[in-house]
Structure 1
Amino acid sequence: MALVECVPNFSEGRRADVIAALVAAVEAASVHLLDVSSDRDHNRTVITFVGEPEPVIEAAYRTAQVAAAQIDLTTHRGVHPRIGAVDVIPLIPLREVALAECVGLARRLGQRIGTELGIPVYLYEAAATRAERTNLAVIRRGGYEALQTSIESDATRQPDFGPARVGSAGAVAVGARGPLIAFNVYLETPDVTIAQAIARTIRAASDGLPAVKALGVLVGGQAQVSVNLTDFRQTSLHTLITAIRTAAQQRGVEIARSELVGLVPQAALIEAALDALMLPPQAHDQVLEYRVGAATQDYRPVPFE
């Protein structure tokens, strides 16, 4: 069975009734809801669901419809960059489906959102029609506020689908990509300038770590390095947090804790453990549960009671 993952991000992390409506839109479709992650400071909710291709893009459209009706960007405030009520809709191939097929799905979904909901749509990552739009940060630059004027006056900000004007629902980026890990690291300081300096040090755009996007924000009075790891095969989670710890200690600060937003590939955690323990890559095949699963087709965790 072809299996596609969808991880739409919504500019709402505080109103429980709106979040419930978004979840209900997913549950009404023939897909599997896996996770809902909301943050009040970011004022953002990330929903993860999987299914066969057609039901997945139907569920994504329904959530965009709910978001457009219930989220007003003119009054929205949060620390996370955003351009729309439904800010980004990525499609990720998991099983028996190629990235190229997800590109086609993303373009069909984007066209429907632009036509039926009247929302400007920007195609990004593998679905991008312009080279510069493979980078989501380029599309988000300046946020909703800047897009309100630039979409009409700047030819480079013209959407792929939908009107060249922005209403209260903003715009949306729709794309196809590989797995992304959203990983936040809290520092033992309220000084957000330290988090911002660390973000500049580690991000790929500043000649830092490959496949790392980062920014420094203040969350609940605590400085946070907010990271999107776009390819854990290029930079492991262990390498990432080691770099953040080193940069923090150079500034006289320690890491308080970290968190995941949404889901993470199991392979990324195994790889981080192998790195931390200085084990060779082939040690991955020495995991007991993997061997049991391969022999019995039962991959449930072993309880060790």
Structure 2
Amino acid sequence: MNTTKEECVTLSKKLGKKVGEELKIPVYLYEDSASLPERVSLSNIRKGEFENFASKIKSEQWKPDFGPSEIHPSAGVVAIGCREYLIAFNVNLGTDKIEIADRISRSIRHISGGFRYVKALGFRLEDRDIVQISMNMTNYKKTPLFRVFEVIKSEAERYGVPIVGSEIVGLTPLQALAEVAEHYLRLEKFSCSAILEKRVLDFIADRDK
């Protein structure tokens, strides 16, 4: 937690160089490590999917940052970069109509004009007979969970559909959830330092330096 973003960018470039030169795997740097603006987004790098990458990698525009300009026969291509924590956040809707999830997903994801740091798709959960808005939150500091949740709730109400649940898949930063509590509980002058477990962990980290 004490490592700076600049240090992570430097490490990612060193790793990319090592992977490219020693393992002969094409490497693209992305997000904060990106060498070009069009390589910041991983989806831009992946565009065309693996089937079309053999020709894409040969073009000057998409020459790898490190390694050869040809796909490795067993390892393929790798993207390495420094980025903010990614939170996999899903919201479940009380309907089986996938078109509603698709419409709401389009309204919140960046590529369709929504939130800058949200990637979203609608999915059907066959076992529960409902639909889900599945999201990757790529920068919770600039686009907090509660803000996206409120927009989804508002959009769902337009279609007469309730939110029946939400979930976070995998790990998430404490700060992201603390912001949700601060927002919905209207906490005044609140910070993560007021959380007992956070204070204990900080104490242990300082003690072990």
Scaled to the shorter chain, the TM-score interval is: 0.7 to 0.9
**Which of the pair has the greater relative contact order for Cα pairs under 8 Å at 6+ separation?**
2
Rounded to whole Å, the distance in 2 between the matches of 1:297 and 1:228 is 32
Aligned residue for 1:116? 22
TM-score (norm 2): 0.81
The yes-or-no answer on 1:195 pairing with 2:101 is yes
2:193/2:199 contact within 8 Å kept: no
Q: 1:274 is matched with which residue?
A: 182
CA distance in 2, matches of 1:144, 1:292: 46
Match of 2:191 in 1: 284
2:82 to 155, 176, 181: 176
1:142 to 27, 48, 54: 48
Q: TM-score, normalized by length of structure 1?
A: 0.58
| 2:65 equivalent in structure 1 | 160
Q: Which runs of 5+ in 1 are unaligned?
A: 1-93, 300-305
In terms of fraction of residues, the more strand-rich structure is 1
Q: What residue is the counterpart of 1:151 in the other structure?
A: 57
Give the percent of matched residue pairs that are identical in Structure 1 and Structure 2.
Answer: 40
Give the C-alpha shift of residue 169 in structure 1: 3.3
Distance 2:158 2:78 in 1: 39
Render the CA deviation track for 1:31-78: whole Å, top value 9, x for unaligned.
Answer: xxxxxxxxxxxxxxxxxxxxxxxxxxxxxxxxxxxxxxxxxxxxxxxx
- Cα shift at 1:252: 3.4
Aligned partners of 1:238 and 1:273 also within 8 Å: no
Q: CA deviation at 1:106?
A: 0.8
**Structure 1 outlier segments of 4+, above 6 Å:** none
Tell me how far 1:112 sits from its aligned partner: 2.2
Deviation at 1:125, TM superposition (A): 0.8
The whole-number CA distance in structure 1 between the counterparts of 2:199 and 2:60 is 57
RMSD value, Cα: 2.8
The 1-side partners of 2:50 and 2:124 are apart by: 20
Aligned in 2, Cα 1:130/1:254: closer, same or farther, shift over 3 Å?
A: same
Aligned pairs (5 A) from 1:16-165 = 94-95=1-2, 97-152=3-58, 154-165=59-70
For these two proteins, the number of residue pairs brought into alignment is: 202
Closer/same/farther in 2, CA of residues 291 and 145 from structure 1, 3 Å limit? closer
**1:271 deviation in Å?**
0.7
